[in-house]
Structure 1
């Protein structure tokens, strides 16, 4: 993937449409309780982008926001309820859910918050107890 790559994404109904461009800062799976509950699944596939790499093309007025904590502003389509992305202001990143950018060549590089997992995944990808040291976590690796 080169720095000029651009991928289309949308909510479930297509009212909200956006692009991501370039290369994400990271990709992986999150196993924390908040992501599990928000996504209604045992694990959430994330892609992390700088804000300027995410451009809403259509439906900005249909985007709802909920923040349980100041660390995460979760965004969804007010028309269909489809989850789109989560802004992380403290990290200066936006987590665009991998499932909403279908043509993006997703490759997980890490599992975060694996100590909270409900679905064991044996894929050879590094498992972190919480988050990387450079993002304020312990950086502690958990064995598969």
Structure 2
């Protein structure tokens, strides 16, 4: 299996993701935008057993924003690493954290909240897919 490595901004924390992500895409919700300080957040979703901290676990802090989002970052530099989604059984490793992973987005989620319309032909969902507790409703570009 392929192993993708990444690290925080100061390089105190290193992580690995093994295999292939379950999904990749963009999130447009206000929470992700605020956390990433960007108009859109690129995500890669992995099974938890395929993601591990290989160095600097003592520097990893977690901000449990909600039951759905446990955002993890480096205590040293504040660099964002990943977000655990316990109810979904998935971990979002931010796409920029894994520089050797070929990012191939398949969907836009929470597009009803977008501040940066993107016309790329990918499906745009109002919120989340139905299998993740959302409505699964598609919206136009």
Q: TM-score range by the shorter chain?
A: over 0.9
Q: Distance in 2 between matches of 1:6 and 1:69?
A: 30
Aligned residues: 141
CA drift of 1:68 comes to 1.8
Aligned with 1:90: secondary structure? helix
Matched, 1:29 2:22: no
Runs of 4+ in 1 over 6 A off after TM superposition: none
1:1-144 correspondence runs (5 A) = 4-144=1-141
CA drift of 1:25 comes to 0.8
More strand as a share of residues: 1
**Under a length normalisation based on structure 2, what TM-score does the superposition of the two structures give?**
0.98
5+ residue gaps, structure 2: none
5+ residue gaps, structure 1: none
